[in-house]
């Protein structure tokens, strides 16, 4: 999947999920129908703001690579935006890496199960990477680096089986489409 130029930011349909690429993770936000300086505003939940906010494209994206996300629910775009805006300013919705992050938020407003696949994969890989280092203290760096991706794959399977009841919760006012 290729990244988009500044001019291509206008190609996001209102309600679609924008994937912003950081070095170690992805940030997700919702594209809106409102434009500032020729670019759509984005609604997201981030560590930087601490809560749900609607911001200009540049404030959220900066100079990072951007691409369309594969996160898509069945809720229509205008309803996604309505649900996202309803979360702005709500004191009970604050950023938390483990229970209420950007991926949890965009999945909730899209009507999808509230989970963070990138967090799940990172935790699974980290746990197995540490386990490999502890189990084989004489292991080379190459072996440890190889163990982390293998651990992430095994962790994904375990979390898919066991982690369903540990999902985050974002209350959208009692209604779910």
Ordered by where they begin, the domains of the chain are: 7-112 (3.90.1720.10), 118-164 (no CATH)
pLDDT band at 89 (very low <50, low <70, confident <90, very high): very high
Tens of pLDDT, residue by residue over 93-106, are 999 888 899 999 99
pLDDT band at 141 (very low <50, low <70, confident <90, very high): low
pTM for the structure as a whole: 0.70
Task: Please name which of 126, 128, 129, 105 lies closest in space to residue 116, comparing C-alpha atoms.
Answer: 105
Distance CA 136, CA 144 (A): 9
Look up residue 7 and give its DSSP letter. G
């Amino acid at each position: 999947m290729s990244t988009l130029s500044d001019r291509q930011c206008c190609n996001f349909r209102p309600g679609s999920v924008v994937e912003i690429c950081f070095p170690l993770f992805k940030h997700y936000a919702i594209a809106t129908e409102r434009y500032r300086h020729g670019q759509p505003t984005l609604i997201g939940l981030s560590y930087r703001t601490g809560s749900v906010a609607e911001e200009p494209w540049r404030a959220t994206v900066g100079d990072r690579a951007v691409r369309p996300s594969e996160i898509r629910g069945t809720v229509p775009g205008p309803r996604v935006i309505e649900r996202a805006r309803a979360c702005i300013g709500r004191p009970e919705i604050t950023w938390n890496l483990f229970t209420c992050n950007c991926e949890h938020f965009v999945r909730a407003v899209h009507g999808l199960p509230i989970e963070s696949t990138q967090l799940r994969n990172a935790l699974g890989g980290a746990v197995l990477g540490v386990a490999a280092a502890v189990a084989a203290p004489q292991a080379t760096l190459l072996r440890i680096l190889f163990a982390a991706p293998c651990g992430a794959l095994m962790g994904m399977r375990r979390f898919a089986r066991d982690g369903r009841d540990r999902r985050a919760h974002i209350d959208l006012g009692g209604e779910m489409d």
